[in-house]
Structure 1
Amino acid sequence: MPAVSDLHVVLGASGAVGSSVVRVLASQGHRVRAVNRSGRVPALPGVEVHRGDITTSAGAKAACDGAQVVYHCAAPAYHRWVQEFPSLTDAVCQGAAAAGAKLVFADNLYMYGPVAGPMTEDMPYAARNPMGRVRAEMAEALLAAHLSGSLRVAIGRASDYYGPGGVNTSVGTTVFAAALDGKVARWSGRLDQPHTLSYLPDIAKGLVVLGTDGRADGQAWHLPAAPPLTGQQFLDLVFAELGRPGRTAALGRPMQRLIGLMNPTVRALGESWYQRDRPFVADASKFTRTFGPFVATPHADAIAATLDWYRANLTPGTAVS
């Protein structure tokens, strides 16, 4: 049945993106249902917690029941995207459609493949690697569902993220936890290439704009972020915030291959190494032209908040040297 209340359902609510979306929605006074497998999410006013398995149609329908907007922030493990992401997203679509809800999909930039110049939403989906293709196929299916009238859809795309709660990311423990532990802060890829980096609270604010504005419907949008930095510039800002010099290094392709023999997540990075050995820059001007100015958090402020979170939540020795 069509949704009749201001209920915003966040799937994957214990993840980095999902938990950020929950906080933004709660801060704006929306009714929120936070959904994950464990039923454990930070307690916030106005937030209902739902424990459920959204990999099945029945579980997704129960999670989305009564929703006005559903935010699909759930994802399988990085190295399991190809095997598990399409069926998960299909179940989520069934749940959102049964509720008569709008679906906002938290996406990334893998579908474009290697590019020359800043990425825009009108670029072809040229990825040939399996992880890029599965992202492309899911986006195509979602937009086709919108075009057919079976489901309202908006897609928000972000680059590599960091921020409070951002652990399972290439700009996570190997940078922030390592820097705090006095170990080598390692950047995945070349240190001299510009790279768009998305701050988690900014991603969440952008997704909520898409969820609450009908102009977003039926399209993909690049979410605003602070200006791109090289890896070295980013690492320098981390140690500037710490107020001391630190050791930095690049994780190059040979080391990635070696570590990947034992670590499937690191191994999967090899498919998209073109994101790490040349400029990787997203253009979000379509978003700001449509919805108005968006003040992205400056990297220095975002890094300070991220370090504060790591200090409070991670024990010494978490980082790998």
Structure 2
Amino acid sequence: MEVILGAGPLGRAVMKELLRRGKKVRMVNSSGRANVPDGVEVMQADLMSEGGALTALKGAKNVFQCAQPPYHKWDGLFQKLMSNITKAAAHHKTNLIMGDNLYMYGEVIGSIHEGLAYEASTRKGKVRAEVARELLDLHRKGTVRVTIGRGADFFGPQVENSYVGSRFFTPVAAGKSISLLGNPDALHTFTYIDDFGRALVTLSEHEDAFGQVWHVPNAETVSARRFAELAYEVAGHSPRIGTMGRGMLRLGGLFIPAAKEVIEMLYQFEQPFIVDSRKFVQRFGEEAGPTPLRTALTETVAYYRERAKK
């Protein structure tokens, strides 16, 4: 049994890949409801309790951790969530595959690779660093077998709340205007959600992947402006691109907690944010590499076009 914690876009991408490989899948979320293919078990569990996590992981060979607390409530809740999950994984002797991001590195000059120190000064970056250190320490102690796959800002079908989620692709697909954060001409790596899900499944199937951090494969890095231009191009529309700075985010943060939380992470969009994922491709081969950017954008725009018809 393969267990996925969280039924959001990453959890669903993992589910899709596991089913493609003929695996039996259980999805776990707080509601016990999810629109999934026939044969996929959906379980309700409160992962913020030790008992809920123990129940969710029962019978699992691998558990894919794709769940997280609300974005503006990470500090404290994320650590508790991970403590419950790791205790349950240790109890059931389950492999833990962590879907992670890149906040723990902080502001980086040059490419972002797995050998960097965790030097985040932001609150959310410090939380991610604390969680990653604890996971790798538990692996070293032999408490839980852990591997960590890290992606950048992700996009793709069913991705709603990412920087390049529905607020980006819904207007692009309709030929309407968008606003980009920070410096739109700074290079920025984006991760296609299906590549992220496939990479986590690949990690779960290789013994030597455990005890290590891996940056999942990404297509070529382009500027946010170029990313948007390509999205408009595959949608068949002329680009209509504006910008949004700190002032507008602060104003939005008065009404939307998540907007306020974005401000401390804005450095990622004000300077080059280039992710190095060569380690993954060198180990697992070119066939494990990323979906070409234009292909990924075409699939994403098609999804949002179909959604708009409903």
Partner of 1:295: 289
Question: In structure 2, how many angstroms separate the alpha carbons of the residues matched to 1:55 and 1:213?
Answer: 29
Change (3 A) 1:314 1:88: farther
Partner of 1:270: 263
Partner of 1:197: 190
**Aligned letter for 1:96?**
A
Partner of 1:171: 164
Question: In structure 1, how many angstroms separate the alpha carbons of the residues matched to 2:20 and 2:135?
Answer: 29
**Aligned letter for 1:258?**
L
Determine which of 299, 302, 307 is the counterpart of 2:301: 307
Q: TM-score, normalised by structure 1?
A: 0.93
Q: Is the 8 A contact 1:193 1:278 kept in 2?
A: yes
Q: Superposition pairs for residues 106-145 of structure 1, below 5 Å?
A: 106-145=99-138
Question: In structure 2, how many angstroms separate the alpha carbons of the residues matched to 1:315 and 1:174?
Answer: 17
Q: CA deviation at 1:86?
A: 0.8
Q: What is the aligned residue count?
A: 309
**Aligned letter for 2:291?**
T
Question: In structure 1, how many angstroms separate the alpha carbons of the residues matched to 2:143 and 2:109?
Answer: 36
**Aligned letter for 1:8?**
E
Determine which of 3, 26, 31 is the counterpart of 2:24: 31
Determine which of 207, 214, 218 is the counterpart of 2:211: 218
Question: In structure 2, how many angstroms separate the alpha carbons of the residues matched to 1:315 and 1:59?
Answer: 38
Determine which of 285, 293, 298 is the counterpart of 2:278: 285
Is residue 188 from structure 1 mapped to residue 181 from structure 2 by the alignment?
yes
- Which runs of 5 or more residues in structure 1 are unaligned? 1-6, 317-321
**Aligned letter for 2:172?**
A
Determine which of 47, 50, 61 is the counterpart of 1:57: 50
Identity value in percent: 38
Q: Is the 8 A contact 1:65 1:98 kept in 2?
A: no
Question: In structure 2, how many angstroms separate the alpha carbons of the residues matched to 1:24 and 1:307?
Answer: 21
Q: Deviations over 1:224-249 (max 9, x none)?
A: 11011101101111110111213111
SS of the residue corresponding to residue 250 of structure 1 reads strand
Q: CA deviation at 1:298?
A: 1.3
Q: CA deviation at 1:314?
A: 4.5
**Aligned letter for 2:265?**
S
Question: In structure 2, how many angstroms separate the alpha carbons of the residues matched to 1:49 and 1:172?
Answer: 25
Partner of 1:148: 141
SS of the residue corresponding to residue 276 of structure 1 reads helix
Q: Deviations over 1:53-103 (max 9, x none)?
A: 111111111110011100000011111111311111111111211111100
**Aligned letter for 1:296?**
P
Q: Is the 8 A contact 2:57 2:63 kept in 1?
A: yes
Partner of 2:154: 161
SS of the residue corresponding to residue 48 of structure 2 reads coil
Question: In structure 1, how many angstroms separate the alpha carbons of the residues matched to 2:296 and 2:244?
Answer: 23
SS of the residue corresponding to residue 270 of structure 2 reads coil
Is residue 101 from structure 1 mapped to residue 72 from structure 2 by the alignment?
no
Question: In structure 1, how many angstroms separate the alpha carbons of the residues matched to 2:171 and 2:219?
Answer: 23
**Aligned letter for 1:311?**
R
SS of the residue corresponding to residue 185 of structure 2 reads coil
After superposing the two structures, state which structure 1 stretch, 290-299 or 167-176, moved more. 290-299
Question: In structure 1, how many angstroms separate the alpha carbons of the residues matched to 2:309 and 2:79?
Answer: 36
Q: Deviations over 1:195-242 (max 9, x none)?
A: 110000000010001111111111111001101110110111111011
Q: CA deviation at 1:167?
A: 0.5
Q: Is the 8 A contact 1:178 1:185 kept in 2?
A: yes
Question: In structure 2, how many angstroms separate the alpha carbons of the residues matched to 1:55 and 1:305?
Answer: 35
Q: Is the 8 A contact 2:183 2:269 kept in 1?
A: yes
